[in-house]
Structures are given as structure tokens and as C-alpha cells.
Amino acid sequence: MRVGIIGAGQLARMLEEQASALGIATSVLAQDPDEAACETASEVIIGSADDLDALHTLAGSCDVVTFDHELVDLDLIAALEDAGIDVFPSSSALEFSVDKAAMRERLHQAGLPVPRYSIVPPGVSVDFEAIGDSWGWPLVIKTASGGYDGKGVFVVDAVEEAHRIEHALRDAKRIMVIEEHVGIIKEIAAMVARNAKGDIVSYPAVETVQDNGINREVIAPAEVDLDILESASAIACRIAELIGVVGVLAVELFVTTDGLVINELALRPHNSGHWTQDGAVTSQFENHLRAVLGLPLGDPSMRDAFVCSVNVLGGPEVTSFDPLLADALAIDAKIHLYGKEPREGRKLGHVTASGTDRTEVRARAWAAAAALGTPSAPQI
């Protein structure tokens, strides 16, 4: 069996590592030969995800095509499907990850918990003063497509600032999504895997710690009441069935005083699931491969009471991990590096620790990340 992956970042690399363990070959469509997954793929095709010829070249030798990222043209993905190529998740499902406006509308229509929002087409003026008076300040302005890791998301405190963002997005002919700013107690994520037959397995909901739009830490399970854990998983299962996703679905949620609110969706392996590589019976990467290939889904149960995953970010003094690896390996944690050139602030890998004491597990994970040059933990 061979799986084609659109994109060649660290998610593709980790899919490839799991595919290799299962005897599955991989082909990746890479924009650049230096991308993380190019070192480990069975086959590398250089080309753009916006080039239909490159997409057909990728798909030509593969049983199924899947994704490392969602920065794709849905019309081109639909063209692959029209040509008889199996693509998972499908273009109809992927729309709700690619297009935040479509996602908000679909989830709202289904009665799922979303913040108050308004979708603004390009060129349409917005009465921010009236919206701010109704919903309260600050407001959240998002581009409907193209954002990730906090990019394309703006939290604005005043009318003047809102109009400045509006004019910039109007000039770029971008659709805006304006949302109320909900009172966030905690950020969590729920992940499921679903196959084409409709079978679903659900991972425990996790707590995520964000810093400047970047996920710094994931703790499994989330430290919230059991009913919130169960509700988060139920929401993720319902969305997976609602949009017909095949593969892994991650749902980012806010815990608020009024309950859970859905933030965003990712229809692919996700940073909030990296802990599963070492902390679950079946990792998110294995279950994604199983799902898209029509194989039985694996057990998502945790191997230990607590698991913590911390992202390794480039520090100002780190030019190579070679002199740092010994100290990091002396700590009881698992290290996953992505083969990227170190650069300050860049996501270069992650470390995972597990055990029976939540505080001690987190301390070990952060110590291993720090030994690799990662800047200190954000305030929690």
C-alpha cells in the first residue's frame, strides 16, 4: 500500500515514520526539497499543492491521498476526486477546516456551541461600534481562510483598530469572520478518528497551553470536570459524523463559564495529539493511516495516568541539537525532532513524558525541552 501526502512538514514526517512501521510506503508533495518529511519519505515529488498536474503526479502511484496541511485549493481537490482518486478527508469535509466562515455556519446550523459571529464578504463595511456595543469589547477578527498558529487572527479593543484590520483585509479581498471574545477559563482539544464505514474512536480530551498563538504544551487528560471531558468528546464525534470526515479530526474548544465553545477544526493529525505517539496504545498518526486506508481503527486509550507533550522551539543560542542531545536524553522523556534547521521561535520538535503524578510529569517534559534550548514555559 502507498499513501500520498499533500505537504511535507513535520506531520507528514511523523505519518511516514508510522507508515514505515506498518510496511506502508509514502509519497509526499513538497514545495521544497529541504522540508522535514523529505528525509524519510519513500518518494518525494517537488511541486505546489496549487498545481493540479503535481497533484495528479502524486496521486498516480498511490492508493489514497491525504494531507499534512489545509492550505489547499478545494476545487483542485474536488478535481482529483472527480478523476476517481480516493482523497481523505474529502473536499466536502475539508471545507470546514479550510473555510472558517463555512465551518461557523455549519456548526451553528447543527446547534453546536459556537461564539456569536458575523461573516463579512469583501468590500462590505462593518459597523464595529454597534457590534462592540452589543457583544462587548474586545472583538475577534479572523480571515476566513489561510491562517494557522495564530496567523490571520486579530483581537481588537477599539473601533479604530478594528477598521484598520478591516481595511487591510478588504484590500486583500479577504472574507472576514467577526466573533465575540468569550471569557476563556481553559483551552482544550478533543480528537477522534473515523473511517469510511463510520467507525469512530475517541481520545481523551487534553488541555492545551497557548503562547502568542503557538501551542506550547499539551497535557492529557485535561484537568476539567468529567462532564466537560465527556461533552468535548461527544462534540468531536458529532462533528466527525456531521461532516463525514475520514481520518483524524481535532476540535479546539474553549472552556467558559457558560460551557464549551468550539474554536477551530483540524482534519488531519494535530499538535494537540502528539502525546499519543508515546502515551496512547495507538497514536493519532497510526489511526489516521488506518482510517484513510480502510483498516480497523486502533485503541486510543492512554498508557499512563498522565502524559505531557511540550513543543521544542528554537532558542536564540541553538544552532544544532548535537551538543544538547545527551543532556536531554538523560531526562526520562521521549524526544521527537523534525529534522528542521534551527531558528529562533521555530517549531523544531516535541518531547513527551508520562507517569502517575501530573506535576512531576510536566516538570520532566519541560526539563527535556529546556535541555534542547526551548525558551521557558509561559505563565499558566
The 10s digit of each residue's pLDDT in 77-100 is 999 999 999 999 999 999 999 999
CATH number for the domain including 31? 3.40.50.20
Judgement on whether residues 196 and 171 belong to the same structural domain of the protein: no
- With respect to residue 378, please indicate whether it lies within any of the assigned structural domains: no
- With respect to residue 92, please indicate whether it lies within any of the assigned structural domains: no
Judgement on whether residues 320 and 216 belong to the same structural domain of the protein: yes
- With respect to residue 108, please indicate whether it lies within any of the assigned structural domains: no
Q: How many domains does the chain have?
A: 3
Judgement on whether residues 81 and 122 belong to the same structural domain of the protein: no
Distance CA 205, CA 192 (A): 10
Judgement on whether residues 147 and 191 belong to the same structural domain of the protein: no
Distance CA 55, CA 115 (A): 36
- With respect to residue 359, please indicate whether it lies within any of the assigned structural domains: yes
The 10s digit of each residue's pLDDT in 146-175 is 765 557 899 999 999 999 999 998 888 889
The 10s digit of each residue's pLDDT in 131-145 is 999 999 999 999 998
Q: Pick from 53, 13, 8: which is nearest to 31 by CA?
A: 8
Please compute Rg for the chain using Cα positions: 20
pLDDT over 80 at 7, yes or no: yes
Cell numbers 505546489 correspond to what residue?
48
DSSP 132-180: HHHH-S-EEEEESSS--TTTTEEEE-SHHHHHHHHHHHHHTT--EEEEE
pLDDT of residue 123: 83
Judgement on whether residues 157 and 234 belong to the same structural domain of the protein: no
Q: Confirm if 350 and 310 have CB atoms less than 8 A apart.
A: yes
The 10s digit of each residue's pLDDT in 285-323 is 999 999 999 999 999 999 999 999 999 999 888 999 999
Judgement on whether residues 229 and 294 belong to the same structural domain of the protein: yes
Distance CA 29, CA 44 (A): 6
Cross-strand pairs, 5: 28, 66
DSSP 247-295: EEEEEEEEEETTEEEEEEEESS--GGGTTHHHHBSS-HHHHHHHHHTTP
Q: Which of 131, 153, 180 is the last residue of a domain?
A: 180
Judgement on whether residues 278 and 363 belong to the same structural domain of the protein: yes
Q: Which of 145, 164, 180 is the last residue of a domain?
A: 180
Q: Confirm if 202 and 165 have CB atoms less than 8 A apart.
A: no
Give the residue numbers spanning the domain of 330. 186-371
CATH number for the domain including 161? 3.30.1490.20
The 10s digit of each residue's pLDDT in 13-60 is 999 999 999 999 999 999 999 999 999 999 999 999 999 999 999 999
Judgement on whether residues 325 and 256 belong to the same structural domain of the protein: yes
pLDDT of residue 150: 58
- With respect to residue 207, please indicate whether it lies within any of the assigned structural domains: yes
- pTM (predicted TM-score): 0.95
Q: Which of 87, 108, 132 is the last residue of a domain?
A: 87
Secondary structure class of 329 (helix, strand, coil): helix
Cell of 64: 489514497
- With respect to residue 54, please indicate whether it lies within any of the assigned structural domains: yes
- With respect to residue 308, please indicate whether it lies within any of the assigned structural domains: yes
Judgement on whether residues 154 and 206 belong to the same structural domain of the protein: no
CATH number for the domain including 210? 3.30.470.20
- With respect to residue 325, please indicate whether it lies within any of the assigned structural domains: yes
Judgement on whether residues 20 and 148 belong to the same structural domain of the protein: no
pLDDT of residue 172: 82
CA distances (Å), 265 to each of 61, 196, 239, in order? 30, 19, 9
- C-alpha torsion sign, points 61, 63, 69, 70: positive
Judgement on whether residues 10 and 76 belong to the same structural domain of the protein: yes
Judgement on whether residues 218 and 353 belong to the same structural domain of the protein: yes
Provide the percentage of residues in the chain whose pLDDT is more than 90: 91
pLDDT of residue 378: 64
Distance CA 221, CA 19 (A): 26
pLDDT over 60 at 380, yes or no: no
